[in-house]
Amino acid sequence: MKVSNFSEAQIAFVLKQAQDGAPIAEVCRKAGISDATFYNWRKKYPGLMPSEMKRLRQLENENTKLKRIVADLSLDRVLSKNVWSAPSLQGSGSV
């Protein structure tokens, strides 16, 4: 996932401007972001303060790392099993 070039305080400031009644197109133009970025931020950070936004990002990063660890451990477990020794794959012994 791409890291944002904006700090939590900057994102909160942009969202607050729009919430206070400034036209969204003007807020986006001043901030140098697309309308889609603004709406994504508004959906992701509804009414959060910068400290809460920072904590949310930290939790998302930690969750991503934990998912990666679980996937690696699951893959290691699958690869460590000897597939050729499974009873259903061995022949009856007579040819």
Q: Is residue 66 part of a domain?
A: yes
| pLDDT, tens digit only, all 95 positions of the chain | 566 788 888 999 999 999 999 999 999 999 999 999 999 999 988 888 888 888 988 999 999 999 999 999 988 888 877 666 556 555 555 55
Q: How far apart are CA 13 and CA 16, in angstroms?
A: 5
The whole-number pLDDT of residue 45 equals 87
Query: What domain range includes position 23?
Result: 8-77
- Number of domains observed in the structure of the chain: 1
Q: Is residue 14 part of a domain?
A: yes
The whole-number pLDDT of residue 53 equals 85
Q: Is residue 84 part of a domain?
A: no
The whole-number pLDDT of residue 88 equals 58
Q: Is residue 2 part of a domain?
A: no
pTM, two decimal places: 0.59
Q: Is residue 85 part of a domain?
A: no
* SS3 assignment for the chain: CCCCCCCHHHHHHHHHHHHCCCCHHHHHHHHCCCHHHHHHHHHHCCCCCHHHHHHHHHHHHHHHHHHHHHHHHHHHHHHHCCHHHCHHHCCCCCC
The whole-number pLDDT of residue 76 equals 85
